[in-house]
């Protein structure tokens, strides 16, 4: 009889984060458009306002009372990229 380490038991490996928000936010913010993240959250049952605030928070924005729109988030990402590359002074 062989000793089986409980930490290495034959449990199926998780394919990714179990929570829908964690699955959506597991991607790099530079590669995933805000619209795609918001759409995934909304299809998982989040409201448009909740999804916008969560995606905005993921991109470093504070939650807004009315939520962030995809256009607002993408515009602020664009402006941040201009500042970070030195094309616009701050």
Our count of domains for the chain comes to 1
Q: At what angle do helices 48-58 and 34-43 cross, to 10 degrees?
A: 140
In a domain, 14, yes or no: no
With both helix axes pointing from N to C terminus, report the angle between 34-43 and 70-84 in degrees, rounded to the nearest 10.
Answer: 150
pLDDT 10s digits, 40-90: 999 999 999 999 999 999 999 999 999 999 999 999 999 999 999 999 876
**Is the pTM of the predicted complex or chain greater than 0.75?**
no
Q: Which domain holds residue 42?
A: 22-84
Specify if 1 maps to a domain.
no
């Amino acid at each position: 009889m062989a000793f089986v380490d409980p930490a290495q038991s034959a449990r199926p490996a998780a394919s990714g984060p179990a929570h829908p928000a964690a699955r959506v936010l597991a991607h790099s913010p530079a590669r995933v458009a805000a619209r795609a993240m918001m759409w995934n959250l909304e299809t998982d049952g989040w409201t448009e306002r909740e999804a916008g605030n969560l995606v905005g928070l993921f991109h470093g924005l504070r939650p807004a009372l009315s939520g962030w729109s995809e256009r607002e988030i993408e515009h602020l990402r664009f402006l941040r990229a201009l500042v970070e590359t030195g094309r616009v002074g701050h």
